[in-house]
Amino acid sequence: MNRREFLKKGGALLVGSVCAYNSPSLLATACELSKKGKKSNLKWGMVIDLNRCLQDCDECIKACRKENNITLHGDKKRDVHLIRKVRLKREYPVNSGEKSVLLLCNHCDNPPCAQACPVQATYKRDDGIVIVDHHRCIGCRYCMISCPYNARYFNYRENSKWSNKNHPKSAHGVPESCDFCNHLLRQGKKLACVASCERIGIKAITFGNLNDPDSEISRLIANNTVKAIREDLGTKPKVYYIGL
């Protein structure tokens, strides 16, 4: 059994144990599918409703940093941002205004980062999450160069803050990008950004299984005009926007 097969089997066992103790949660769908042997039917994705998202709010960004033990060192070029907000200016029609847009890893279905990685440290899992195996990564940063969304940040320095003792501090010398709070997902909990946005009553971020036609995310996509960023590149992003 090679390392990847071992990790896959370990993951399946873990899903089994989560199902036993945590089924009435976000992972309910995943657990049911897993029990039925249909784990590959999962495709996690996200919808961000820019009509709901508050322009100057950064609750989700702060919650993400706290959950994932991200320290800001005050060096704009080298700080890690798993989720960030940028102001996008619409060029046409002229003077049609600006929008602040949350950006994160799009968990592309056709991820150039994974294709570029020479040691398969970056890969797309069966459930669609694009992830970095920090132990396998050699720090070459080809994935960062290949990502057209600037979604990866190299962890130049060890994080000094350890705000969340339930989650390890990342080793420095590897690229970081959003992993859909994989550690929380495994426990059947909501992603930090999703939970924080709900906590303040806005609910601009929806996460769920794109392959389940009855999931909230699938209904949102079916009933709204949604766009992903630079779909023309063929990367097939799985983060969609309402109101972009």
Which candidate, 165, 104, 182, 176, places its Cα nearest to that of 134? 176
Q: Closest distance between ligand SF4 and the C-beta of residue 226, in Å?
A: 17
**C-beta closer to ligand SF4: residue 31 or 46:** 46
The amino acid sitting at 17 is S
* Structure-block tokens of residue 159: 């994080």
Instruction: Please report how close the Cβ of residue 190 comes to ligand SF4 at its closest, in angstroms.
Output: 21
Closest CB to ligand SF4 among residues 116, 220:
116
With respect to ligand SF4, which residue has the nearer C-beta, 102 or 117?
117
Smallest gap from residue 230 Cβ to ligand SF4 (A): 10
* Crossing angle for the helix pair 3-22 and 28-35, to the nearest 10 degrees: 120
Q: Which is nearer to ligand SF4, 31 or 108 (CB)?
A: 108
Residues engaged in binding ligand SF4 (CB under 6 A): 105-108, 111-113, 116-117, 119, 121-122, 130, 132, 137-143, 147, 149, 151-152, 175, 177, 235
Shortest separation between residue 170's beta carbon and ligand SF4, angstroms = 13
Find the farthest-apart pair of alpha carbons in the chain and give their distance in angstroms, rounded.
59
State in angstroms the smallest separation of the CB of 80 from ligand SF4. Answer: 13
CA distance 39 to 128: 11
- What span, in angstroms and rounded, lies between the C-alpha atoms of 87 and 100? 4
When the beta carbons of 34 and 155 are compared against ligand SF4, the nearer one is: 155
The least distance separating ligand SF4 from the CB of residue 115, rounded to whole angstroms, comes to 9
DSSP string, 176-197: E---TTHHHHHTTPPPHHHHHH
Across the chain, the runs of DSSP E, i.e. the strands, are 44-49, 83-89, 98-104, 122-124, 130-132, 153-154, 175-176, 205-209, 226-227, 239-242
User: Closer CB to ligand SF4, residue 23 or residue 148?
Assistant: 148
